[in-house]
Structures are given as structure tokens and as C-alpha cells.
Amino acid sequence: MTPANASPRSLSRFFVALAAGLLAVVGFADLGGGTAEAKEKKRAKGAAFEYGCRVQAPQKSLMRRSFLKPDGTLDGIKHTKAVRYLSERYGHVDTEGTMRWNKQRAQTQTKLVRFMGLPVTVHEKIAPALKCVEKRIQATCGGRYTPHAVGGLRTSNTYRGVEVSNHLFGIAIDIDPDKNPCCGCVDPWPSNPICKNEGPVFKRTALPKCYIRAFERFGFDWLGHDKLEDTMHFEFLGDPDRIRKK
């Protein structure tokens, strides 16, 4: 509201101030729209596809290091949530708990595929992602590393206690264990000479970084980042229902 007895000069100042205020409001509205646009661009970028597969990161809640306490013991609640998620999507793995979450067995949903020319059995849901990893490696690694042995599905658990190996679900693969050891595992793994190399974990594996990045680009987690430093091991922890375009 304008002052009743305002002079022309005062009125002029009043309307200038009013216009500035309106401009500020519009500016903030535009800023909000810009933020929304930026968020949409970020979301769209996260939904990018390469070689027919979605570019996605592994889910942190499924990573082994997310459900281990600082003292190395298992956080039972977090571990159970992760195993349930995997069971519901891939099938049970012959434990009473996983059978409650999915009546179908994970092992019956696997298929034999080829990775870098080598046969490996994996869950059928992640087979497309593994193929996209292969294409990415071929495009970015330039023949810097040639695998000689690849392992996938297992029918017996390799972890001690209640922890469940993702090999049982058919979503993990090991590449050349003799060259890429698990330096933090039980004997005889730490006796591999490469485990004595100091510095970043990349010095304790024969795998080039382009291999690791290719796996991580399509939802796989590398256990070289884990406390175990299991450098041979990759496991798909992305969303299996979002690998391909619907």
C-alpha cells in the first residue's frame, strides 16, 4: 500500500522498490525451475544406456563392507536385509531363511555364457550386464589383459558362519585367482607374492583399472575395495530389473 501523503519522488521510490521485490520473487521462481531442470538432467544422466545396458552403480546396502562392523564382525540386521533383497530377486540358496523369501531356487535360473571367450555359469538375470562389461572392456582396455580362468556359480558356501556368498546366487564371478588373490582371506591366499606389494590395492592385482571400471559401470562391485581385498571377485549389486530398457 502507498503512503497517503507521499510526494511524487517518494512514490517513484516506492514503485521502484516494489518492482525490485517482484523481480526477486520471479528470480527465485526461475531458480527453483532451474534446480528442477538440473535434477532432471542428473536423473536422465543416471538412466544412460551403453551397449543396451543401463549404466548403474552397485547398491551400497548390498556391499559386503556395508554390513561389517568396524571390528570385522557381521551386522546381522543389515546382512539379513541384503540377503533377503537378493533372495527375492534371484531365488533361494538352500538356507531356511532364503527359502521363506523365494520358493524358486537360484541355481535353477542360471545359464552358461561366455565372458572374454571363457565359459562361466551365472544367473540369467545378470547375463546381459556381464555381456555389456565385456563390450566395455573390449572398447577401453585394448587387449591389456587376457583372462585364463573364470568362475561363477557355486553350490557350496565359501564363507564361514552365517555370511552368504553371492556365488550361490550366481551373481559373482572370479577372474584368474592365481594372479588376483584374496590377500585378506585365510591361507593360502596371503602367501601369494603379489600380496606383499605395498600401496593401493591395485598393486596387489594383475587386473588393469580399465577392467575394474568396466564392471563398476554396469552395477558390479569389486571386492578389492573390501577389507578382504578379494581382487579376483566381482559381484552384481545393481538392480537386475533395470539392466535393460523396458
- Higher pLDDT: 232 or 17? It is 232
48-65 average pLDDT score:
97
Each residue of 153-207: pLDDT tens digit?
999 887 766 889 999 999 999 999 999 999 999 899 999 999 999 999 999 999 9
Q: Hey, how many other C-beta atoms are within 10 angstroms of the C-beta on 70? A: 5
Within a domain: 5: no
Cα angle: 121, vertex 225, 193; to 5 degrees: 85
131/166 same-domain check: yes
Query: Quick one: 114 and 235 in the same domain?
Result: yes
What tens digit of pLDDT does each residue of 23-54 get?
Answer: 443 343 333 344 544 443 454 455 699 999 99
Domain match, 38 and 147 both: no
Domain that holds residue 186: 52-242
Tell which phi-psi region holds residue 91, choosing left (phi > 0), alpha (psi between -120 and 50) or beta.
left
Return the pLDDT at 194.
97
Mean per-residue pLDDT for 213-233?
A: 98
Judge if 89 and 41 occupy the same domain: no
Q: Which long-range contacts (CB under 8 A, 24 or more apart) does 26-32 make?
A: none
Q: Is 7 a residue whose pLDDT tops 80?
A: no
Tens of pLDDT, residue by residue over 71-103, are 989 999 999 999 999 999 999 998 888 999 999
Q: With respect to residue 3, please indicate whether it lies within any of the assigned structural domains.
A: no
Q: Decide if 1 is inside a domain.
A: no
Question: Structural domain tally of the chain?
Answer: 2
Distance CA 55, CA 42 (A): 13
C-alpha distance from residue 134 to each of 118, 130, 146, 242 (Å): 11, 6, 12, 18
pLDDT tens figures, 112-141: 999 999 999 999 999 999 999 999 999 999
pTM: 0.80
Q: Are residues 189 and 215 located together in one domain of the fold?
A: yes
State the pLDDT confidence band at 219, using cuts at 50, 70 and 90.
Answer: very high
CB 133 within 8 A of CB 114: no
Same domain? For 93 and 171 the reply is yes
The verdict on residue 2 lying in a domain is no
